[in-house]
Structure 1
C-alpha cells in the first residue's frame, strides 16, 4: 500500500497541469480555439435580397457574385468613352463591405496605359460604385464582419 501512495504522490507532483492555475488553463484553451479558426474565410457571404440565406455557403457565394456582376453591368450600361488607341488591359477594384452591409470602393488599381487613354475612368467608376446598395453583411461565427474583395475589370477596345 505504501508503494501505491508513493507512486500516486509522484504522479501528482510531476503532473504539469496540477500546478497550472485554472485561469492559465482557460487562457490556453481559448488561445488554442482562436488559432484553430480560419480568419481568412467567412462562414456566410454577404447577401443581397434575392439570395437565399438558408442555402449552403457555395450557393451563397455564387448568388453574391452573380448579383454583383449584374449590378456592375447595369451601372455601366450607359457609360461610353472614346479612345484613340486600342486598349486590352485589366484594372482592379478593391471593395469593402463593412459589418453593417455598406459597400465602399477602397482602391482602383489601373496601369498607366489606362490612365493615359481614359483619364476620367477612375472618377466615373468611383462615383458609380460608391452608390452601391447595402447588403446583409458577411458572418463569422454568427457575428457580422467586414470583408474585402477584388473585382477585375477587363478593358478591351479591339475589334
Structure 2
C-alpha cells in the first residue's frame, strides 16, 4: 500500500498544473462572444403550432412562410379589393412579428399611384387580417426578437 501511495503522490503533485489555468477576463470573453454572433440572422424563425413538429430549420422556415401566406390569402379571398381594383392581382404585405407574439400587417401599395385609394385598401386589409393563430416569435440567442418579412398575397376574384 505504501508503494502505491508513493507512486500516486508524485502523479498528484504533477497534475496540479492542469488545474491552474487562467480564467478569461469577463469583458474579454463578452467581446469575443459578441464578435462570434451573426447579428443579421436569427437563431430560430417565427413559428406556428402546425410547424412545431418540424426540426429542420430551413423546412420549419418554409412551413411558416407558406402557412402564413395561405392564411392571409384565405382571409383576403372574401374581400372586395379584387372587385374594387381588378388590375391588382398581387399585394405585398409587410408582416411584423413582435417579441410579445403580436402581429402588424402593412400593405405595400405604391404610394405614387393615384389610381389606388391606398388608405381604403390599407383599412380593408387591416380589418380582415385579425384572429391569427398564436405565433411563436423569432429568437436570437434564446431571446425573442422582432422580425419583419414581406408576403406576396395573390388576390383571387370569385
The TM-score with structure 2 as length reference comes to 0.67
Bigger shift: 42-51 or 118-127? 118-127
- Preserved contact between residue 77 and residue 155 of structure 2 (Cα < 8 Å): no
Q: What is the DSSP-based 3-state SS (H/G/I as helix, E as strand, rest coil) of the residue aligned with 2:107?
A: strand
Distance 1:90 1:62 in 2: 20
- Preserved contact between residue 139 and residue 145 of structure 2 (Cα < 8 Å): yes
Distance 2:89 2:112 in 1: 9
The TM-score with structure 1 as length reference comes to 0.67
Where does structure 2 lack aligned partners over 5 or more consecutive residues? 1-22
Distance 2:130 2:113 in 1: 21
CA apart distance, 1:71: 0.4
Q: Can you list the C-alpha shifts for 1:5-63, whole angstroms capped at 9, x where unaligned? A: xxxxxxxxxxxxxxxxx99x431331221122112211111111111355121011011
Counterpart position of 2:107:
108
Number of residue-to-residue matches in the alignment: 133
Distance 1:109 1:83 in 2: 17
Instruction: Mark the CA change 1:94 to 1:148 in structure 2 (over 3 Å): closer, same or farther.
Output: same
- Preserved contact between residue 138 and residue 145 of structure 1 (Cα < 8 Å): yes
Provide the alpha-carbon RMSD of the alignment: 3.0
Where does structure 1 lack aligned partners over 5 or more consecutive residues? 1-21
- Preserved contact between residue 49 and residue 135 of structure 2 (Cα < 8 Å): yes
Instruction: Mark the CA change 1:133 to 1:30 in structure 2 (over 3 Å): closer, same or farther.
Output: same
Counterpart position of 1:32:
32
Return the structure number with greater relative CO, CA threshold 8 A, min gap 6: 2
